[in-house]
Amino acid sequence: MPKRRWYHYLAALLILAALWDVLAIWLKIPALPRFWDAQVAFVKGMAGGPLLKHFGVSVYRVAMATLISLVLGVPIGLHLGRSGEPVGSVLVYLVHPIPKVVLLPVIIVALGLGDRAKIFLITLVILFQIIVTVRDAAASVSPGLIRSVQSLGGGEWDIFRHVIFPACLPAIFTALRLSTGTAVSVLFFAETYATQLGLGALVWDSWSSRAYDLMFAGVMAMALMGFGFYVLADWLERLACPWAQARR
């Protein structure tokens, strides 16, 4: 993977801003303000307005849900991929396609209106993405690598520690990056339902009151949050598995 420089990010931002302004000028509707107007609202909101508080709440919810999903999903995926257990795989196939967001009213009744319900819903959605990705990676590990450890007297734990887990690390980080966008999307849905805190609630309330500058400031904050998690995953991958980076 080529190393990204600061000017790569700047160029991408300028392209996005230019496309935004072209669309805003072409449509000429209040619901789509110019990029600069949304940027000013974003800076004011993060500097001392309500945006910073909502941003912190949303970051906490996504971070906790992602951490829980990794702690649960990685071991389950490794086990299913290594053991080839058919019942567990079929169970994942049955539950994974179910749209978990439809369970939000039930989750709120069971867990309340606070952070627990939002974190649980996000976890429920991205957990299966991580399980499926890690399981497929564990199942595709070369049998020759496993036999080489066994020939040296290594047991099942040694195989997991020295072969399966290192081989699956790139796939784990891939699953982490893929789940970031999903987590932010689910977060928006969860925070528009019976809550007053979070970027989703801010965007929804701003849209309802036609405060479009603040609405897009919230959208920009959600994009920044997702981008931050994505860059963090890239950085952690470079630290954890440099051998995978060398092959790219």
Quick count: other Cβ atoms within 10 Å of Cβ 147?
A: 12
Instruction: Give whole-number Cα distances, 231 to 10, 57, 150, 184, in Å.
Output: 14, 20, 37, 15
- The span from the CA of 181 to the CA of 227, in Å, is 9
pLDDT confidence of residue 242: 76
Residue pair 191/199 in contact (Cβ under 8 Å)? The answer is: yes
The two structure tokens encoding residue 140? 């595709």
pLDDT confidence of residue 60: 94
Residue ranges of alpha helices (H) inside 192-211 are 199-208
CATH class for the domain made up of 37-246: mainly alpha
pTM of the model as a whole: 0.86
pLDDT confidence of residue 2: 54
pLDDT confidence of residue 71: 94
From 116, 127, 29, select the one nearest 73 (Cα to Cα). 127
Where along the chain do its domains lie?
37-246
pLDDT confidence of residue 225: 92
**105 residue type, one letter:** P
- The span from the CA of 121 to the CA of 134, in Å, is 21
- The span from the CA of 207 to the CA of 234, in Å, is 33
Each residue's pLDDT expressed in tens, for the chain with a length of 248 residues? 456 676 777 888 889 889 989 998 998 888 888 888 888 888 888 887 788 889 999 999 999 999 999 999 999 999 898 887 778 878 888 888 888 888 888 888 888 888 898 999 999 999 999 999 999 998 888 888 788 888 877 777 888 888 888 888 988 998 888 888 889 888 888 888 777 888 888 898 888 888 888 889 999 999 999 899 988 988 888 888 876 654 45
Quick count: other Cβ atoms within 10 Å of Cβ 235?
A: 10
pLDDT confidence of residue 245: 58
Torsion region of 74: left, alpha or beta (phi above 0 gives left; psi -120 to 50 gives alpha): alpha
pLDDT confidence of residue 154: 74
